């Protein structure tokens, strides 16, 4: 087993174990509708008009994929966590416009070239074992003029600890990013043009008012958007 396979297996197992509690937080009734409104505006500001073909990498329990499908996009969500995909598919079974969910690697999606208008991801960049390779692979999937939009933050600027056990040197390079510019720079090195970084003020306000997931601190989140040159 190579280092990347071992690390990825550990990540997959971690998120499968966490899937029920993670999804329960996403579904909190006091915040669910507000999240849809706020995140809907954020994603719409970055994406082409609907209907567009959108790939949601690291879809998890399908929050972003289902939101974008509800806005009229044709959405495919991929993940390597079986537990997360099971929950995503369960939720989507009740949706009028449902995404397509597939098992797939966010770093190296096995999908046809130039089959999407946009690649999106929320809280994914920090989990990637090779962010620059991932961005390069996403560009292959984009049609000319397509966009990549990633929402993330500096979650572990003080250190990731043993969250994923021992990591091979150089892997998960953004997990302990100390500034969002490190994430932006990785997207640029991966080949994206005109990468912008926008603080998500409405999300921050919601976090301050309604709280964040247990074990997390309130931090500024950002939307990073680049295009295929």
Q: What is the DSSP letter of 176?
A: T
3-state secondary structure of 24: helix
The answer to whether residues 170 and 142 touch, using CB atoms and an 8 Å cutoff, is no
Q: What pLDDT does residue 159 have?
A: 81
Of residues 121 and 214, the one with the higher pLDDT is: 121
Rounded (10°) CA dihedral 195, 171, 23, 121: 20
211: number of Cβ within 10 Å: 14
Domain span at 128: 3-227
pLDDT per position as a tens digit, 157-194: 888 776 666 655 557 899 999 999 999 999 999 999 99
Q: Which helix (H) or strand (E) holds 117?
A: strand 116-122
The count of structural domains within the chain is: 1
CATH of the domain at 80: 3.40.50.150
Q: What pLDDT does residue 31 have?
A: 86
Q: Is the pLDDT of residue 3 over 60?
A: no
3-state secondary structure of 19: helix
Partners of 104 in the beta sheet?
Answer: none
Q: Which has the closest alpha carbon to 60: 112, 96, 20?
A: 20
Write out the two tokens for 201: 């003020």
Q: Is the pLDDT of residue 12 over 80?
A: no
């Amino acid at each position: 087993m190579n280092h990347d396979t071992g690390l990825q297996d550990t990540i997959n197992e971690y998120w499968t174990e966490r899937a029920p509690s993670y999804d329960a937080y996403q579904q909190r009734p006091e915040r669910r509708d507000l999240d849809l409104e706020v995140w809907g505006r954020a994603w719409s500001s970055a994406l082409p008009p609907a209907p567009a073909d959108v790939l949601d990498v690291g879809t998890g329990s399908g929050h972003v994929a289902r939101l974008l499908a509800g806005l009229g996009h044709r959405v495919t969500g991929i993940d390597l966590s079986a537990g997360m995909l099971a929950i995503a598919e369960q939720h989507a079974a009740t949706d009028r416009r449902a995404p397509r969910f597939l098992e797939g690697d966010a770093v190296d999606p096995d999908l046809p070239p130039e089959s999407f208008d946009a690649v999106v991801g929320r809280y994914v960049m920090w989990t990637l074992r090779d962010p620059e390779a991932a961005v390069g692979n996403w560009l292959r999937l984009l049609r000319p003029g397509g966009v990549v939009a990633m929402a993330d933050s500096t979650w572990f600027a003080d250190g990731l600890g043993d969250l994923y056990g021992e990591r091979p040197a150089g892997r998960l390079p953004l997990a302990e990013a100390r500034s969002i510019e490190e994430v932006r720079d990785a997207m640029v090195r991966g080949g994206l043009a005109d990468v912008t970084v926008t603080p998500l003020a409405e999300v921050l306000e919601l976090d301050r008012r309604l709280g964040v997931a247990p074990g997390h601190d309130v931090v500024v989140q950002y939307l990073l958007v680049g295009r295929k040159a």
